[in-house]
Structure 1
Amino acid sequence: MFKRLPGDETRNLVTTTPDTAVVFRPAVVTTPAIITIVIVAWRLLAGLVRTIWRHPIAVTTASTPAVITLVYGWGTALLLTTPVPVGLVAWALTDRSSFARWVGYRLLAWWRLIWVYRRHWQPVMVVSGLGRHLRGRDYLPRLGKITCTSWADTVTVRMLDGQAVKDWTDRTDHLAHGFGATSCRVTVATAGRLMLTFPRRDPLATAIPALPIPEEPSVGPVEVGKQEDGRPWLLKVHGTHVLVAGATGAGKGSVIWSTIRGLLPAVRAGLVEIWALDPKLMELSFGRVLFGSRYAADPADCADLLDDAVKVMQARAARFAGHQRAHTPTVDDPFVLVLVDEVAFLTAYQSDKDLRRRISAALATLTTQGRAVGVGVMAALQDPRKEVMNIRNLFPDKIALRLDESEQVDMVLGDGARNRGALADRISARPELGAGVAYVRLETSPDPVRVRAAYVADDDIRDMVAEFASASEVGKEVR
């Protein structure tokens, strides 16, 4: 039989024979009951104050009837509180948006905090590896404020000391599954604090019809669709370059034609020129009358058109040197937007090496020097690999529509974009659900934004041609 030694006698142990089992018995310190009571009372009081501070409307709504009942009786409480729910119902029926903004979403946030996030916070944090269980104690990130909108919950979290943002972005799938959401996006609020966005529904599930053509000429930003939060998606084209990547049928044409549609008044006013390269002879050819002589489909013509754009850019740079550093669109110096549909056909799949070299050199020149003098490039492609498009990093603003592989998301939007919630590889392939849906990463922000471009149908393009092309050009196109 093993002989058990008390903890205090182990220091006198000289030999360790097989018949001796060393048992350590740490000293037990008994905490006075009064200290335990004070700690529990303090935690209850702090939790009550925190709940009142975060959710004043919900607390007031729940506590007022109880207080009136205790002081004046249930009859008085019923008489005084009945008009309140009646008034709230009338408010909700007459002005639902303001009721939701001031009352509804606050009550929903309180309910989601209690029933979803606080209830599952500890197990989700521990199982996902974001919390730690050491020596019988849980060290968890602190759950902060919950804000609800019409489509998502925004959760503020204080990270543990020593944690990195990457620890959270690598576990977005764990967080989404743990709290019953389809996805999770992580953004940095302040130092040590994160904002987690959990969508409750998809506000971009339905297609958006073509937007009205602006009445006043403008160089941008151009409204091309809608963001996930309901605000207009304004795409900047002047003073930047835009890369649009997406698989076949993902909706690249929606982005391109919505941009053209928003710029047409400025084109008619002489403030914008659109130069179109259409090597597939499918997308832009439908409205090529709008581009006039600045349209090319044959690879050789595309190379010549790009060389002409480089010459315009260099001539402007020579005139602007020493006089101005930024471009302001005028009739004499309009903004030039070079549209390139399926740029990979020209830069990677073109069999003529000389044409491929000319086109790649011209695009690299335009994307490195054209911004300051009012020459922008919008290029669309299906395959974003480096060997296909080796100048993709020269495009400050990037749009990722539906992609085939998860690795392609980071190729288009930059490293870590998918971990921050840009799930472009999970966009539905059904046209009515996913066509035009994209994630946008702008030069000014690393956080991807989910958007959907408006769908410009063939009839809309015909109307654009009829309204903005001259009668002679339309006649030539018909012939």
Structure 2
Amino acid sequence: MGWEFRRSAPSDNVMVPATSDPFESPKWAPPVWHMPPALVLIVNLVRGLVGLAAFCARHPVAVGVAGVLGSLTYLAGWRLLVWLAGLLAFVLCGWAWCFWPSFVRLVARPVRARWRYLAVYRRNWRPVMVMSGLAFYRNAREYLPTILRVEVTKTTDRVLVKMLSGHAPSIWQDHVENLAHGFGSTTCRVRTAKRPRRRVWRRGLSGQDWPGHLWLEFVRQDALRRPLAGLLDAGHPVNLTALHVGMREDSLPWRVCLLGTHLLVAGATGSGKGSVLWSLVRAMVPAMRAGLVQVWGIDPKRMELAFGRGIFNRYSDDTGGGMVELLEAAVAEMSKRAARFGGVTRTFIPTVADPFIVVMVDELAFLTAYCPDRDLRRRALAALSTLTSQGRSVGLCVVGALQDPRKDVINIRNLFPTRIALRLDEAEQVDMVLGDGAYERGALADQISPLPEIGAGVGYVRLEDSPDPVRVRAEWVSDAEIAQMADYLTAEAA
């Protein structure tokens, strides 16, 4: 019978039966050395002191405040501490009463972000990472991604994460549903991270992609679940590079640039394309009244823009050739400006003599694909191609709306630098409008509700500073507001 050494005492090795094989050689195990209790106490004490020093180094402000308050309490008693707490509460209440925006930005949101970090993300981080498959095990060790910062808005949380070596954002994109349910949010989106200024030691790296880091955007509640209403603001100058159109999912204003670009709005029937068009018009009305902007309207359907035809400087819904003639008139104006500005300036600045012209076309597909007259289709496509390829530098902008973004319907969609995807019928159409990979990055335009009160005007856009799509909603403009805009403009003309 074979024997092996088993550890039964700190200094004894005992021969015990190992297996039933009589020819197996005995196995020997080294003796176990037990650390003396006094040495264990010293080691634990040193580890505790090192952890305390590390905590103080990471949180110097909190440790300093706690030390000062503790010293004051010891020297002057608890009444001084209560008096200081009351004074602090009075100052904070006064700050919130008089300067609420700054109080929210500097106090309320940082405190709420810290609370969400401790109560939600740090508390549930390990189980969610393990169950989502984003943790890694090697040699009996567990490796987890690290939370670096948490930022909160009214409706969303943004968590900055340092990924494990070898991770890529696409891996996290495959687990967004696990992350959303794990942290109790309705939606989770993966966003690229940019280098912050305070962490850049080399000039020129600020604002560039930050390898190994990403933002997780958790939506706590849908800020766009209800229709948005706006008002005509005639008291502020119009910024053609940031026209207020609606609101983003993170409760920030949604602003659209028209100066130096062209805009394409794609959406199925009832998706709210009219809300985007009329919101743009409403934002430009003060500049139209001042003569700095002109809006030319084309409406083959004779239903959307025709209601406010008195607002437009030029308007046509004549399917027999009037709409094409208006487009060719815009091309002629573009050629005149190019002849006058050539060699003089490369930057267009709107003036009363040379206003910024917006050619707004509803149902753009009628002119490019559905018009029964082949000659009119050819002329319209030639005029639109010329305007979208050459009109930006001389102050002409084309804003087109259509239902079907396929190439056989509009083969010049790549000439529109700015594009908006409202509710679409198919997932493939999202990439047609916003570019390849937009659907994988979270632009789920085919899943927008068809109910008008929920999904009208809701869509996705790509901002200039990020390739990630952002969910937005345009404000709804009523018939009474359109009539008010017409009266506002005609009263000035009279």
TM-score tier (shorter):
0.7 to 0.9
Whether 1:187 and 2:208 are equivalent positions in the alignment is: no
Contact kept? 1:208, 1:454, Cα under 8 Å: yes
- Asked if 2 retains the 8 angstrom alpha-carbon contact of 1:396 and 1:442, the reply is no
User: Match of 1:140?
Assistant: 144
| Correspondence list, 1:12-411, <5 A | 42-43=50-51, 45-47=53-55, 49-50=57-58, 52=59, 71=74, 76=79, 79-80=82-83, 83=86, 87=90, 90-91=93-94, 94=97, 97-185=101-189, 186-190=191-195, 191-192=210-211, 193-215=213-235, 218=238, 220-221=240-241, 222-298=243-319, 300-411=321-432
For this pair of structures, how many residues does the alignment match?
455
Letter of the structure 2 residue corresponding to residue 203 of structure 1: A
> Distance in 1 between the 2:32 and 2:411 partners?
68
Looking at structure 2, the residues matched to 430 and 177 of structure 1 have their Cα atoms a distance apart, in angstroms, of 26
CA distance 1:463–1:103, change in 2 (3 Å)? closer
Q: How many Å separate the matches in 1 of 2:28 and 2:429?
A: 57
Asked if structure 2 preserves the Cα contact closer than 8 Å seen for 1:242 and 1:379, the reply is: yes
Larger CA deviation: 149-158 vs 410-419: 410-419
Query: What is the CA–CA distance in structure 2 between the aligned matches of 1:413 and 1:29, rounded to whole Å?
Result: 66
Shift of 1:61: 8.6
Distance in 1 of aligned mates of 2:148 and 2:31: 35
**Counterpart Cα distance in 2 of 1:321 and 1:20:** 100
Do the aligned residues in 2 keep the contact of 1:203 with 1:228 (CA within 8 Å)? yes
- Flag structure 1 segments of 5+ consecutive residues without an equivalent: 7-18, 474-479
SS of the residue corresponding to residue 384 of structure 1 reads coil
Task: State the secondary structure of the residue aligned to 1:308.
Answer: helix
1:142 aligned partner, one-letter code: T
Whether the 8 Å contact between 2:294 and 2:313 is mirrored in structure 1 is no
The 8 Å contact of residues 155 and 251 in structure 2, kept in 1 or not, is answered as no
Q: Does 1:458 align with 2:479?
A: yes
Query: Which moved further from structure 2: 325-334 or 249-258?
Result: 325-334
Q: Whole-Å Cα distance in 1 between the matches of residues 23 and 277 of structure 2?
A: 81
Q: Deviations over 1:328-356 (max 9, x none)?
A: 22233222111111212322333333333
Partner amino acid for 1:210? G
C-alpha distance in 1 between matches for 2:294 and 2:126: 58
> 2-side partners of 1:61 and 1:202: how far apart?
38
Contact 2:192/2:215, CA 8 A, preserved across alignment: yes
Kept in 2: contact 1:208–1:453 (CA 8 A) = yes
- Shift of residue 358, structure 1, vs aligned partner: 2.6
Instruction: Describe the shift of the 1:77–1:364 C-alpha distance in structure 2 as closer, same or farther (beyond 3 A).
Output: same
**Higher mean C-alpha displacement, 317-326 vs 438-447:** 438-447
Q: Do structure 1's residue 469 and structure 2's residue 490 form an aligned pair?
A: yes
- Cα shift at 1:31: 11
SS in 2 for 1:367: helix
- 1:134 and 1:299 mapped to 2: Cα distance? 73
**C-alpha distance in structure 1 between counterparts of 2:23 and 2:337, whole Å:** 92
1:341 counterpart letter in structure 2: D
Deviation at 1:319, TM superposition (A): 2.6
TM-score w.r.t. the length of structure 2 is 0.79
The residue type paired with residue 463 of structure 2 is L
- Superposed CA offset, 1:122-157 (max 9, x none): 232233333322232222221111122222222111
Mean Cα displacement is larger for which, 94-103 or 406-415? 94-103
Contact 2:154–2:251 (8 Å) recurs in 1? no
Q: Which residue of 2 aligns with 1:476?
A: none
Q: CA deviation at 1:305?
A: 2.0
Evaluate the alpha carbon distance shift between residue 90 and residue 313 of structure 1 in structure 2; reply closer, same or farther with a 3 A threshold: closer
Give the secondary-structure state (helix, strand or coil) at the position aligned to 1:201.
Answer: coil
Deviation, structure 1 residue 79: 4.3
Measured after TM superposition, the shift of residue 446 of structure 1 is: 1.9
- Tell which deviates more after alignment, 251-260 or 208-217: 208-217
Spell out, residue by residue over 1:355-392, the C-alpha distance to the aligned partner (whole angstroms, 9 max, x if none): 33332232222111111111111111222233323222
Distance, in Å, in 2 between the alignment partners of 1:348 and 1:108 is 53
Once superposed, what is the RMSD of the aligned Cα atoms? 3.9
- Give 1:206 shift: 3.2
Which 10-residue stretch deviates more, 71-80 or 409-418? 71-80
Verify the 8 A CA contact 1:337 1:378 in the aligned structure 2.
Answer: yes
SS where residue 388 of structure 2 aligns? Answer: helix
Cα pair 1:280 1:297 within 8 Å, conserved: no
- Name the CA distance, whole Å, in 2 between partners of 1:224 and 1:235: 7
Gap change, CA 1:75 and 1:467, over 3 Å in 2:
closer
- Counterparts of 2:281 and 2:299, CA distance in 1: 14
CA 1:93–1:263: 2 relative to 1, 3 Å: closer
Q: Aligned equivalents of 2:82 and 2:342: distance in 1?
A: 79
CA contact (8 A) 2:295 2:314 kept: no
1:30/1:203 Cα in 2 relative to 1: closer, same or farther (>3 Å)? farther
Distance in 2 (CA, whole Å) between partners of 1:349 and 1:126 is 54
Q: How has the CA–CA distance of structure 1 residues 304 and 123 changed in structure 2, closer, same or farther, with 3 Å as cutoff?
A: same
Classify 1:189/1:291 alpha carbon distance in 2 versus 1 (closer, same or farther; 3 Å): same
Q: CA deviation at 1:116?
A: 1.2
